[in-house]
Structure 1
Amino acid sequence: MVAKCSACCKFMSSLEGACVDCHTCKRAYHRDCVGVLKNRSVPSSWVCPDCKAKLPRSNQDDTPLKTRAPSCSSPETLNQESLLTKTDGNIEANLVDELRAFRLEMSQTREELIGLRQDLYELRSTVRSCESRLNKVEETVQTLLEAQASGSGSDSGIIKVVEALEANVARLQNDLNDRDQELLANELEFSGLPEEIAENPMHLALACAAKLGVPLEERDVVSCARAGALRREVGARPRPLALRLARRDTREALLRAARVRRHVTTEGLGQKSEPRPFYVNERLTKLNRHLFYRSRQIGSRLQWRYIWTKDGRIYARRDTGAPAHRIRSEADLLKTFGPDGVRSQTAES
């Protein structure tokens, strides 16, 4: 689990090397939060300010009282008091700067969320319009089919109209799928993470990001949950962990880090199961996920070298230097891999 600073409650990375542990209460702090210089070595008996304030003080009743005039302060005492005042002032100045930076970052995040909500609203409006058009086309097709079944009208003319409408329906379905994929532009999923009882998806996602070397905080995450219905079968694959982020650049940074660290495992994430590899992928719609699976199966059998996704789009390339083909539907599978390849894969499945 990622530790938090007991003073500012922010997450601390073990790679920073800028934290100290209290000898008494065993709590961890940022050096800046407790006024400890970064280049200064800290003894193992160091205690935090809270524990230092709780230490008992000896009265020393046998020491005689001495009076001292206010004007007789020694230079050493004045220097110590001045140093303490300057240290307190530096800590307060650092806290004020940090609060201002945090307020500015929160303001920027709020503006990004407002823009994201506006984009989502426009996408929902477009999807509703496409659904309405699709319903009208389906009603027209049904009417024509009923008319054809009753024997009224020209058969050849009806067939042409039906074919044109079916092509229009396929085009609208592809458009709807593209709009749904755009709604997932800021999402990705962690697959291969064992699913345990009473787990915390947010902490698990933050730990995975820290292991990939990408700094991620809770304010960067819009939502985090397991995707799909609970699988109760013995030996079933764990559900992927769907992560929706507030910014697109954070998603791209996680995907780039996952490509570099291809063999990262769940070791050190605090899970009870044995360490196993986990993967970070783009989040696809149900149709795109099915097409990507089919493309990989057919491409593997036909020895195509490259099958990949980018920004939710599926691409295939036979070899280095060959043109890339985009796959949006079953018709694109036939056009890309040929009828024989698709039929052979269907027969095997």
Structure 2
Amino acid sequence: MSKCAACPDVINDDSFMECNRCSCKFHLLCTNIDKCELENAPVDFKSKWLCPICLNKQPKNDNSCKPVRPSTPTGMADMTFVNTRRKIQNRTDSDPNIHLSSTSDAGMQNIREIIREELRGVATKSQLSQILSEFNDFKNSLEFISEGFDSIKNDLTAANTEITLLKKENESLRSEMHSLRLRLNTFDQLSRSSNLEIQCVPERKAENLITIVQELGKTVNFNVNEKDISYCSRTAKLQSNSPRPRSILLKLNSPRTRDCLLAAAIEFNKKNPGNKLNTGHLGISSTKVTPIYVTENLSPENKHLHAAARKLAKEKSYKYVWIRGGRVYLRKTETSEAIFVRNEEVLDKLNRL
């Protein structure tokens, strides 16, 4: 890919002329040679062709300043430069009207440079105008993108601010909900302060639960009158497929009565370690004597905590797990300090030890 010596454009095809002497290349249009004329020209015309500058430098036969006629056909020679005019072929060399004024090499070079500069300036202005137009389009596009980015950025900032506020509000609500759960559990447990659970008592048809409770009182040496019982019934199972019988929920007339009956049952088991409270003491006939447990009636949350504490005690070899006043306690050995299990976080800390 070469550049034309007469104009600033690049030669992109094979339609060009190359000077036999200086090897400069020219568009056919710049040399004023028609493509059809070039095809009809002699075979060696293109290989012997000289540009106007090299043609002007050829020696003259009569030492005159008159340009030498080219050896090629007149029609071809007269179209060698873009600024030359076609000459009338029927005029002879002796005609004074067609006599060319002498032009120096420097003058031709100056003319050539002026033409090049003018053409280059026109091309440069056109290119600059196109570049400026593209730059303005790019600037407008960039401003549009920038405005969109600013809008997205503002929306994102507002969303982040709202998310931060929602997180704080969520944390506050969680804390408040946790506090309300603790209070609700406390009130729930206080409402059970007069209740006892009698577990693992076999179920029978047409059973009298009041009689079973009174028989239990006689066994542990604490008299329970019918007027001391406010409510007595079996509770639903937490797990319907459990083989254990439903527990008996006993509501006494006061927390004091409840505590006295519970203390009597605990004392009975201490005095009779080999024959703790069982179905035989209550006069319940069965093929196998099974133990009976008397415990405080816990709220659902405290029951879950008590079950988790018993599991930890089994895994970590804690010797004692008990309930007092609706609270769960652990003790490693007989001489170690009692641990109040306030919540599952306490169990997690003990599990990591």
So what's the TM-score if we normalise by structure 1?
Answer: 0.49
Larger Rg: 2
